[in-house]
Chain A
């Protein structure tokens, strides 16, 4: 059930992802096409997009596994810690829901926090040549680490998942949900975007998230 929620969340965050990651996706594809042409190869945007997407998923998966593992270690020290993690996850979900409905944008502060953690990643990126497949994968992976409020909320969910595998699975489901829109920007899928962008959709999705977070908190507090 968590996996499905994560997937749906990925889908509903499409407008945000499209504005932000859509640009990154276009830039990456542009760069890899140019690199392919320099190497006198026929550019294969679809294949490149798949490599970038796979990298991004791997990045998400790694983050999720890390969060899941941390969560498992923390909660093994006592049930209180586990309950606290569930509460945190629930609160973050509510925060994200509020962000989607547009009622409270506090979750953005979390992004600012992540911005600092982001600097070392930038150093890894410098001078990465996009012509090689391995590098495409690497760029995609680092792309997955881009600070983003939605990702952090999902990580909180992964934190309370109970194991590294479950954490990775949650993040992968989320990633799969965002991927079609981010990679398909310009393609057929764009037709669906205006629909997703309509405020009542976002409000519905946000309220759903708030309820979901509240439900998580309630089940933690009331055993």
Chain B
């Protein structure tokens, strides 16, 4: 490989050069080697502008120092097997390797990969695409280059290469796109000469009197016939090959007895072409090959724009699924082995090095490192994980080495679940879309009738171009933009939300959320930190404080309610036959004694019979729960703290004109305190699940505030009923777990202030969808009369059609950002 003494890298352009000819320059006390005076000037230039940090940034991106240091061949090799599917055999024994490099960060990385790989013996071509984070290397095994060697080179530059496997979905998308481009190219190439051939005919006063006011000399019949035949030959591939997707679509639609937007387009193209063929055979001068070609080209252009809009989505999908490594390091008692990820079992110990992706959901058993969950939550800041902390597959391990114990298998990873949900939601066809489709189908029927009527009318009036007018009507009225208007926008919006850590389960979420007028919070775990703690214990009987706490802990150990976590002490007691009563408490047997723990009314229903002596000391601050057996044993006071962003969120919602309410099952934060800090419109505490549902229904039905569209925000577990009763719901997932919940959407980033943002974004999505629909309807309706009057040239109709599709797609594209 490299001879480190005789060769070195240019500090600026990183060209490999003989050390003997290198120029030297002192920069900030370092001697830098440079290949030429141009590069020296460049370093001086950058230095003079105080931009030296560029070099640090670049080196951080891909340390060349690392390359030279490792040049001897240290580091472990990646199994070649893992890359087998990413290798493509080329002619004369060469091979191509496709790698996905998810952590390709900047232009300098692209540049470096090309520089370093391109210089290797046996590597013939290197292509790095920054947009899709893919690398394609063509190499020659005969010259000693191999797949592990390439992977190792990339690794040494500081990247984690992964085989870019040809999964079915993406491959079909890519081939679809290529196919479309070829069709578009054929149409473009065919269209130009055909239009040129049509020009003399126009000028000679053939079909269009519009252009030729002059009495230009008629073309001689022989050359006119020749031009017609040439046009026929050139436009055949355009009409038969390029426009084939339209014909096929129309055919399928007809077979299913429905009308699709392909139908009028296909009819227009085929009619213009067939009429021209007949006229050519009959030596009639009116031919419309140019019209057929232009229709095809411009309409394909519109389709292509639609295809491109799906790429954004496709690529983010790819990056997500490529997040996990294919192989992991499994640690046994004595040694360490590399195994495929799918062979990992629950309980396996896995070693994760700094910079690697956490390969499985699990618990840290050894090591300490900062880990960032940006793939889930959109939150880039890492947090420190120590033994005992949960980590999720797909998170990035930053600075320390960790050993984790896998807690689930791949199909149950949070990441896998999120991806499933995301796929599911993106397949949903929104209400608007279904409406538009239904409308479009009627619309197409009407257009077909209208075009036929126009043809008959203009034929009767004796117009030469009656058929062309009819065909123009067909093209101009095609509701392509209308049928694109909604799906494109909702796809882009779903992807954007996903990137910010909002996973939509119910596809209807966005359109319903846009109408929200009231937001109801379920307090437990939503507005509070959900870290209840016991701050007072009042024994009522002979049992002392410690014994009471131990008994309660044994009971609560079986419950998943946030309250249960407050009871934690070391106890050998175990409870049996434990039953949890939602919203009330828990009961069970310990050492043959039956205990109840929960709200007073549940634990000891006839509390009043004991008189006031047994009531909790102060009713209104905190949540009091009672432990009872044959007699009341102790009161526990539980406290929770409000989240920092709760007040901010409520204020932001109020500013949006949204009614806010808290319907809480407990009173773990003092009611008065809550009302003072959060200026919510309605505050109801101590509700049973049934009362909660009733309260949500009441809001919905119009009492006491007037009919509201209600969005319920909770943890999605304890309030499933109320969530189902509300129009929409959002669950706020605690960090590191995707709780199986019933909400329409889940915030993976436990950041309450996202709620107003999501509402605003939903309204913006709705606005953009409406703009799209409004625009495409207005376009279709306003241009049809013009076309009917025969005032619209066919090329303009086709161009307008594709531009209106393009406009709709670009408008939807604005939803790529959550902020305005």
Contacts and interface: CB of A to CB of B under 8 A. Distances in A.
A53 B124 CA distance: 32
Contact of A111 (B14, B36, B53, B131): B36
Contact of A19 (B14, B110, B125): B14
Interface stretch (A23-31, A156-164, A210-218): A23-31
B173 interface: no
A146 B51 contact: no
Given A24-B45, A128-B49, A185-B111, A191 B54 contact: no
Contacts of A50: none
A143 B58 CA distance: 20
A114 B45 CA distance: 14
Contacts of B44: 118, 122
A142 B51 contact: no
A23 B13 contact: yes
A51 to B, nearest CB: 14
B130 A125 contact: no
Contacts of A139: 49
A130 B53 CA distance: 14
Given A23-B12, A139-B49, A186-B106, A115 B41 contact: yes
Interface residues of B, number: 37
Would you call the interface of chain A mostly helix, strand, loop, or mixed?
Answer: helix
A26 B110 contact: no
A190 interface: yes
A30 B110 contact: no
Nearest to B126: A194
Contacts of A126: 48
A187 interface: yes
A112 B41 CA distance: 10
Contact of A28 (B13, B49, B107): B49
A201 to B, nearest CB: 12
A63 B252 CA distance: 64
Contact of A186 (B118, B127, B130): B130
Nearest to A21: B42
Contacts of A146: 38, 41-42, 45
Interface in B100-136: 106-108, 110-111, 114-115, 118, 125-131
B38 A20 contact: yes
B46 interface: yes
A30 B52 CA distance: 10
Contacts, number: 110
Interface in A181-197: 185-188, 190-191, 193-194, 197
A114 B128 CA distance: 34
B577 interface: no
Contacts of A142: 45
Contacts of A22: 107, 111
Contact of B131 (A19, A27, A148, A188): A188
Nearest to A18: B111
B207 to A, nearest CB: 38
A143 B41 CA distance: 10
B89 interface: no
A180 to B, nearest CB: 14
A111 B38 contact: yes
Given A114-B37, A186-B130, A187-B130, A28 B51 contact: yes
Contacts of A190: 107, 110-111, 114, 128-130
Interface string B573-608: 000000000000000000000000000000000000
A41 B115 CA distance: 35
B118 to A, nearest CB: 7
Contacts of B402: none
Nearest to A147: B41
Interface string B492-522: 0000000000000000000000000000000
Contacts of A27: 46, 49, 51, 54
A141 B739 CA distance: 58
A174 to B, nearest CB: 16
Interface in B19-53: 36-42, 44-46, 48-51, 53
Nearest to A119: B44
Contacts of B106: 26, 186
A26 B127 contact: no
A149 interface: yes
A20 B127 contact: no
A66 to B, nearest CB: 19
B57 interface: yes
A115 B37 CA distance: 6
Given A19-B15, A190-B128, A24 B42 contact: yes
B177 to A, nearest CB: 15
A142 B111 CA distance: 24
Contacts of A197: 114, 118
Contacts of B57: 30
A127 interface: yes
Q: Which A-B residue pairs are the 7 nearest by beta carbons?
A: A186-B107, A27-B54, A125-B48, A19-B13, A115-B37, A31-B51, A27-B51
22 contacts: A19-B14, A19-B111, A20-B39, A27-B49, A28-B49, A30-B53, A30-B57, A31-B54, A111-B38, A118-B41, A130-B49, A147-B37, A147-B41, A148-B38, A185-B107, A186-B106, A187-B107, A187-B130, A190-B111, A190-B129, A190-B130, A191-B127
Given A108-B36, A115-B41, 4 more contacts: A18-B111, A19-B14, A31-B50, A190-B128
Interface of B: 12-15, 36-42, 44-46, 48-51, 53-54, 57-58, 106-108, 110-111, 114-115, 118, 125-131
